[in-house]
Amino acid sequence: MTTTKRTHLITGGFPPGSAAGHDMDYARLRLLETLRAQGNPLVTVANDFHDIERWLPGTDLLVTYVAGPYPEGDSNKALQAWLEDGGRWFALHGTSGGKAVKKERDGIRVKQMVKAEHHKTLGCFFLNHPPLRAFDVAVTADHPITKGVPKNFSVMDELYIIELQDPGASRILLTTELAEDPSPPGFGFVYDEDTSVQADGKTRILGYSRDVGRGEVVYIGLGHCHIGRTNTQSAVDMSIGTDGVVPPEFRGVWENDAFERLLQNAAVWGLGER
């Protein structure tokens, strides 16, 4: 008897019902289309991690694209246990974020991310991203997620600056080079120390995989998209080619063949044979 695999897809912002600066509807549709192309698996859909412990039993693949929501308390414990029991989690973009606090620094009101228990489960912690920019991505390891992806490709996106929580157990899949965070004062989030840049002083990790018990997490920091009514970008880098004007509609990597291949591979990896 053939068993139909099931995916639980979480896409949403905070507060509940908000887009939180992204085009959540577009991302949700694209991810659903990608999943449907892989043998039409069952898919359940949510806007956040609330009550996720009800949905994880029987779920083979968890896919998350969020800006604000994060698992905490019993939800995070259930997620950790599900991974240890063999679950696979494909986490995108803002999944590495969570809660931010407001403070004043050098006379400017700023925000700073707060590290929480779910960052340990995921394996990374978001520090900041500079304004939308063009940058190169390098594939640094063979993995089912990177199969057939060019060894080097260029994107326009938010370049996520993340801190690995378990570097010794993480297989680095994607990197880029950025020696210093070029964010202007008051833009994005502040942090006390740049714990993202690697020992060479320029390499940043954009994607990794990490075993959790019998399960596995793959995180990819790429994926920003917005439309006019959801955009909260206040600046873009000149490399975007819009003379510093924030584009009213931005699809970025979602129109990139290499990123599309990463998404397709993730569906195969998550719903294929263990």
What are the tens digits of pLDDT across the range 52-63? 999 999 999 999
Q: With 60 as the cut, is the pLDDT of residue 1 above it?
A: no
Q: What is the pLDDT of residue 3?
A: 62
Q: Is 0.85 surpassed by the pTM of this model?
A: yes
Domain annotation covers residue 224: yes
For residues 7-20, average pLDDT: 95
Is residue 123 one of the residues assigned to a domain?
yes
Arithmetic mean of pLDDT over the chain: 95
- Residue 164 — φ and ψ, nearest 5°? -70, 140
Confidence at residue 106, expressed as pLDDT on a 0 to 100 scale: 80
Q: Which residue has the higher pLDDT, 27 or 273?
A: 27
Is 1 within a domain? no
Q: Which amino acid is at 25?
A: D
Look at residue 41 in the predicted model and tell me its pLDDT: 82
Q: What is the CATH number for 193?
A: 3.40.50.880
Q: Read off the pLDDT of residues 18-50 as tens digits, 9 standing for 90 and up.
A: 999 999 999 999 999 999 998 768 999 999 999
Assigned domain for 46 exists? yes
Sheet containing strand 133-139, edge to edge, reads 42-46, 6-13, 61-67, 88-92, 215-220, 203-212, 170-177, 133-139, 152-157
Domain that holds residue 74: 6-271
pLDDT over 70 at 16, yes or no: yes
